Amino acid sequence: MNDLLLRALRCEPTERRPLWLMRQAGRILPEYRALRAQHSFEELCADPDLAAEVTLLPLDRFPMDAAIVFADLMSPAAALGVDVRFEPGPRIDKPIRTAADIRALPRPGAGEIAPEVMATLGRVKEALAGRAVLIGFAGAPWSLGAYLVEGRGAPGFPRMRALLESDGVA
Protein backbone atom coordinates (compact mmCIF):
# COMPACT_ATOMS: atom_id res chain seq x y z
CA MET A 1 0.00 0.00 0.00
CA ASN A 2 1.23 3.50 -0.83
CA ASP A 3 0.86 5.20 2.55
CA LEU A 4 3.49 7.90 1.96
CA LEU A 5 1.01 10.75 2.46
CA LEU A 6 -0.40 9.19 5.63
CA ARG A 7 3.09 8.78 7.09
CA ALA A 8 3.95 12.38 6.21
CA LEU A 9 0.73 13.59 7.86
CA ARG A 10 1.74 11.71 11.01
CA CYS A 11 5.13 13.52 10.83
CA GLU A 12 6.91 10.20 10.38
CA PRO A 13 10.09 10.05 8.31
CA THR A 14 9.44 9.49 4.60
CA GLU A 15 11.72 8.73 1.67
CA ARG A 16 10.37 11.77 -0.21
CA ARG A 17 7.59 14.31 -0.13
CA PRO A 18 4.21 12.91 -1.18
CA LEU A 19 2.77 14.10 -4.49
CA TRP A 20 -0.80 14.90 -5.47
CA LEU A 21 -2.56 17.55 -7.49
CA MET A 22 -4.06 20.28 -5.34
CA ARG A 23 -6.88 20.92 -7.82
CA GLN A 24 -9.10 17.88 -7.85
CA ALA A 25 -9.08 15.94 -11.10
CA GLY A 26 -6.26 17.84 -12.75
CA ARG A 27 -8.66 20.17 -14.53
CA ILE A 28 -5.94 21.19 -16.97
CA LEU A 29 -5.50 17.63 -18.23
CA PRO A 30 -6.66 16.97 -21.80
CA GLU A 31 -8.56 13.90 -20.61
CA TYR A 32 -10.57 16.05 -18.21
CA ARG A 33 -11.18 18.70 -20.87
CA ALA A 34 -12.48 15.96 -23.21
CA LEU A 35 -14.93 14.76 -20.55
CA ARG A 36 -16.04 18.36 -19.90
CA ALA A 37 -16.73 18.77 -23.60
CA GLN A 38 -19.23 15.90 -23.30
CA HIS A 39 -20.63 16.51 -19.80
CA SER A 40 -21.50 19.48 -17.62
CA PHE A 41 -19.79 19.96 -14.28
CA GLU A 42 -23.05 18.94 -12.59
CA GLU A 43 -23.18 15.71 -14.61
CA LEU A 44 -19.61 14.84 -13.69
CA CYS A 45 -20.36 15.37 -10.00
CA ALA A 46 -23.73 13.58 -10.02
CA ASP A 47 -22.65 10.39 -11.81
CA PRO A 48 -20.46 8.22 -9.55
CA ASP A 49 -18.86 6.45 -12.52
CA LEU A 50 -17.89 9.73 -14.18
CA ALA A 51 -16.78 11.30 -10.89
CA ALA A 52 -14.61 8.26 -10.15
CA GLU A 53 -13.11 8.40 -13.65
CA VAL A 54 -12.29 12.08 -13.23
CA THR A 55 -10.82 11.46 -9.77
CA LEU A 56 -8.44 8.87 -11.18
CA LEU A 57 -7.27 10.86 -14.23
CA PRO A 58 -4.16 12.38 -12.59
CA LEU A 59 -3.09 8.98 -11.26
CA ASP A 60 -3.45 7.40 -14.67
CA ARG A 61 -1.07 10.01 -16.09
CA PHE A 62 1.39 10.71 -13.23
CA PRO A 63 2.87 8.74 -10.32
CA MET A 64 0.82 10.38 -7.57
CA ASP A 65 0.59 9.35 -3.93
CA ALA A 66 -2.98 10.55 -3.44
CA ALA A 67 -6.18 11.20 -5.33
CA ILE A 68 -8.64 13.96 -4.43
CA VAL A 69 -12.23 12.89 -4.89
CA PHE A 70 -14.05 14.77 -7.63
CA ALA A 71 -17.10 16.31 -5.99
CA ASP A 72 -18.55 19.70 -5.23
CA LEU A 73 -18.87 21.24 -1.78
CA MET A 74 -22.53 21.99 -2.57
CA SER A 75 -23.40 18.27 -2.91
CA PRO A 76 -25.29 18.16 0.43
CA ALA A 77 -27.69 20.89 -0.77
CA ALA A 78 -29.85 18.39 -2.68
CA ALA A 79 -30.67 16.56 0.57
CA LEU A 80 -31.99 19.89 1.87
CA GLY A 81 -34.28 20.25 -1.13
CA VAL A 82 -32.17 23.06 -2.58
CA ASP A 83 -31.47 23.15 -6.31
CA VAL A 84 -27.99 24.34 -7.24
CA ARG A 85 -26.90 25.31 -10.74
CA PHE A 86 -23.47 26.42 -11.91
CA GLU A 87 -22.79 29.56 -13.99
CA PRO A 88 -19.86 28.70 -13.53
CA GLY A 89 -19.99 29.04 -9.74
CA PRO A 90 -22.82 27.77 -7.53
CA ARG A 91 -26.14 29.64 -7.89
CA ILE A 92 -29.29 29.10 -5.85
CA ASP A 93 -32.53 30.57 -7.16
CA LYS A 94 -34.39 30.49 -3.83
CA PRO A 95 -31.82 31.35 -1.16
CA ILE A 96 -32.52 31.11 2.54
CA ARG A 97 -33.32 34.51 4.03
CA THR A 98 -34.76 33.90 7.51
CA ALA A 99 -34.47 31.62 10.52
CA ALA A 100 -37.91 30.31 9.54
CA ASP A 101 -36.44 29.26 6.18
CA ILE A 102 -33.76 27.35 8.05
CA ARG A 103 -36.29 25.63 10.32
CA ALA A 104 -38.30 24.61 7.23
CA LEU A 105 -35.37 22.69 5.75
CA PRO A 106 -35.67 18.89 5.90
CA ARG A 107 -33.41 17.01 8.29
CA PRO A 108 -31.98 14.23 6.14
CA GLY A 109 -30.42 11.12 7.59
CA ALA A 110 -26.73 10.46 7.04
CA GLY A 111 -27.39 8.04 4.18
CA GLU A 112 -29.50 10.64 2.39
CA ILE A 113 -26.76 13.27 2.21
CA ALA A 114 -24.75 13.19 -1.03
CA PRO A 115 -25.21 9.48 -1.84
CA GLU A 116 -23.51 10.08 -5.19
CA VAL A 117 -20.36 11.16 -3.36
CA MET A 118 -20.46 8.06 -1.17
CA ALA A 119 -20.81 5.89 -4.28
CA THR A 120 -17.91 7.73 -5.93
CA LEU A 121 -15.71 7.15 -2.87
CA GLY A 122 -16.44 3.42 -3.00
CA ARG A 123 -15.61 3.17 -6.70
CA VAL A 124 -12.38 5.14 -6.33
CA LYS A 125 -11.24 3.21 -3.27
CA GLU A 126 -11.73 -0.05 -5.15
CA ALA A 127 -9.93 1.25 -8.25
CA LEU A 128 -7.00 2.60 -6.24
CA ALA A 129 -6.39 -0.82 -4.67
CA GLY A 130 -3.77 0.68 -2.35
CA ARG A 131 -1.68 2.43 -5.02
CA ALA A 132 -2.56 5.82 -3.48
CA VAL A 133 -4.63 7.23 -0.64
CA LEU A 134 -7.89 9.02 -1.23
CA ILE A 135 -8.41 12.58 -0.02
CA GLY A 136 -11.99 13.65 0.50
CA PHE A 137 -13.44 17.01 1.37
CA ALA A 138 -16.73 18.50 2.40
CA GLY A 139 -18.31 21.91 2.53
CA ALA A 140 -18.01 23.13 6.10
CA PRO A 141 -21.24 24.35 7.68
CA TRP A 142 -20.18 27.98 7.15
CA SER A 143 -19.35 27.48 3.46
CA LEU A 144 -22.51 25.56 2.66
CA GLY A 145 -24.65 27.92 4.76
CA ALA A 146 -23.13 31.02 3.20
CA TYR A 147 -23.95 29.83 -0.31
CA LEU A 148 -27.46 28.79 0.75
CA VAL A 149 -28.12 32.24 2.23
CA GLU A 150 -26.33 34.39 -0.36
CA GLY A 151 -27.53 32.37 -3.32
CA ARG A 152 -24.01 32.57 -4.79
CA GLY A 153 -20.46 33.36 -3.78
CA ALA A 154 -20.22 36.87 -2.34
CA PRO A 155 -17.22 38.73 -0.92
CA GLY A 156 -17.57 38.74 2.85
CA PHE A 157 -20.96 36.96 2.66
CA PRO A 158 -22.91 40.02 3.93
CA ARG A 159 -26.38 38.37 3.94
CA MET A 160 -25.07 35.43 5.93
CA ARG A 161 -23.47 37.74 8.48
CA ALA A 162 -26.61 39.89 8.68
CA LEU A 163 -28.80 36.82 9.24
CA LEU A 164 -26.54 35.61 12.02
CA GLU A 165 -26.52 39.05 13.65
CA SER A 166 -30.28 39.52 13.37
CA ASP A 167 -31.29 36.08 14.57
CA GLY A 168 -29.03 34.15 16.92
CA VAL A 169 -31.03 30.99 16.22
CA ALA A 170 -29.89 31.01 12.60
The residues spanned by each domain of the chain are 4-166
Q: Of 27, 91, 97, 159, which residue is the catalytic one?
A: 27
Q: Of 32, 65, 123, 147, which residue is the catalytic one?
A: 147
Question: CATH assignment of 4-166?
Answer: 3.20.20.210
- pLDDT tens-digit map of 31-56: 999 999 999 989 999 999 999 999 99
CA–CA gap between residue 79 and residue 98 (Å, rounded):
19
According to DSSP, the β-strands at 66-68 and 133-135 are parallel
- The pLDDT of residue 148 is 93
Residue segments in the chain with a per-residue pLDDT below the cut of 50: none
The verdict on whether 91 is a catalytic residue reads: no
CA–CA gap between residue 112 and residue 130 (Å, rounded):
28
- The pLDDT of residue 87 is 82
**Dihedral of alpha carbons 8, 15, 18, 114, sign:** negative
CB 84 within 8 A of CB 143: no
The verdict on whether 32 is a catalytic residue reads: no
The verdict on whether 36 is a catalytic residue reads: yes
- The pLDDT of residue 108 is 93
AA identity, residue 76 = P
- The pLDDT of residue 28 is 83
The pTM assigned to this predicted structure is 0.86
CA–CA gap between residue 75 and residue 111 (Å, rounded):
13
- The pLDDT of residue 141 is 84
The verdict on whether 7 is a catalytic residue reads: no
The verdict on whether 23 is a catalytic residue reads: yes
